[in-house]
Amino acid sequence: MAMSWYRRYTGIRNRGINPQGFHVSQIKFYIFLIPLAAVMLLPIIYIFSSAFKPPDELFAFPPRFFVINPTFKNFTDLFSKLSTSGIPVSRYLFNSIMITAVTVVASILVSSTAAYALSKKRFKLKKTLFAVNNIALMFVPIAVTIPRFLVIERLSLLNTFWVHILPVLAMPVGLFLLKQFIDGIPDEVLEAAQIDGASDWRIYWRIVLPMIQPAIATIAILTFQAAWNNAEISTLYINNESMRTLAFYLGTLTSTTTTTGAAAVAGQGIAAAAALIMFLPNLIIFIILQRQVMSTMSHSGLK
């Protein structure tokens, strides 16, 4: 009798306080969250809408947010421009995919191993190195353009694929976030593994990495966006056209078509279509990893 009363009582409280399914008490949250979500979706909707707008809607005044007469002409114009290029577009696409994939994997490996050492190992200058990483968070990329160019030139990385990867390999925000996650792993767990004879590499691979998967997913998204959308490296450090990326090529393609007169009108449509093509991979990878990203955000508030 007492147990049935307890279950009935706690069941009612759980449905009201933190229900697993829908409950009337959740309506107040939906009233606030649904309009907020709609506002957050507006930039994404605008990117899709602009890509399918005909020229008269792109230059309409007052500007129109939603497309009224959608058309694929912007994409056909873009693909016609791509087909007339001297180097096949597939080459730019291959460069972007290869560079992005290598950068994401290498960045996760470098950041996670460095974070593991800074979090769980004892050595001199440990706090100093982490402080240097935190100071690096304050610098915007434009502030280190000249020093970065000098370093790359001294290392003879100009006109190589490595120049796409090495400068963005170690992200300060990635190291910081991963270290904070690894700090939350109890030392007793790692000490028990060491007593059982596990090496540092085995502990890192079998224990640490599985426990920081949400943070790794977040770093993967940030690194992917930085590598996929990066046209600056192809502009500053690459002279060989066959080593440049799709982001650079689409950027130059849209900039050269937006001149004056009819070319400017067509160029705006091509630019809108190119923006959608560059945005879609970012959206897809976020949708795939969004559950892990939400876990990262929730973990960041727990100490």
Is the bond leading into 62 cis (omega within 30 degrees of zero)?
yes
| pLDDT > 90 fraction of the chain, expressed in percent and rounded | 18
Q: Check whether 263 has a pLDDT greater than 80.
A: no
Range of the domain at 123: 89-299
Check residue 108 and give its pLDDT: 93
Is 190 a domain residue? yes
In the structure, what pLDDT confidence band is assigned to residue 9 with cuts at 50, 70 and 90? Answer: very low
Domain with residue 122: its CATH number is 1.10.3720.10
Is 18 a domain residue? no
Is 294 a domain residue? yes
Is 31 a domain residue? no
Check residue 101 and give its pLDDT: 93
Residues 155-174: tens digit of each pLDDT: 888 888 899 988 878 788 88
Check residue 2 and give its pLDDT: 43
112-128: average pLDDT: 91
Long-range contacts of 91-99 (CB under 8 A, 24+ apart): 91/242, 92/244, 92/245, 92/246, 92/248, 92/249, 93/246, 95/161, 95/164, 95/242, 95/243, 95/244, 95/245, 95/246, 96/228, 96/245, 96/246, 96/247, 98/161, 99/161, 99/164, 99/165, 99/227, 99/245
Check residue 303 and give its pLDDT: 44
The Cα–Cα gap between 286 and 43 comes to: 15
- The larger pLDDT score, comparing residue 297 to residue 133, is at 133
Is 36 a domain residue? no
The Cα–Cα gap between 241 and 302 comes to: 48
Name the average pLDDT for the chain. Answer: 82
Is 263 a domain residue? yes
Identity of the amino acid at 201: W
Is 204 a domain residue? yes
In the structure, what pLDDT confidence band is assigned to residue 65 with cuts at 50, 70 and 90? Answer: confident
pTM: 0.79
Is 83 a domain residue? no
Q: How many domains does the chain have?
A: 1
Judged on CB neighbours under 10 Å (0-12, 13-18, 19+), 212 is: buried
Question: Would residue 77 be called left, alpha or beta, if left means φ above 0 and alpha means ψ between -120 and 50 degrees?
Answer: alpha
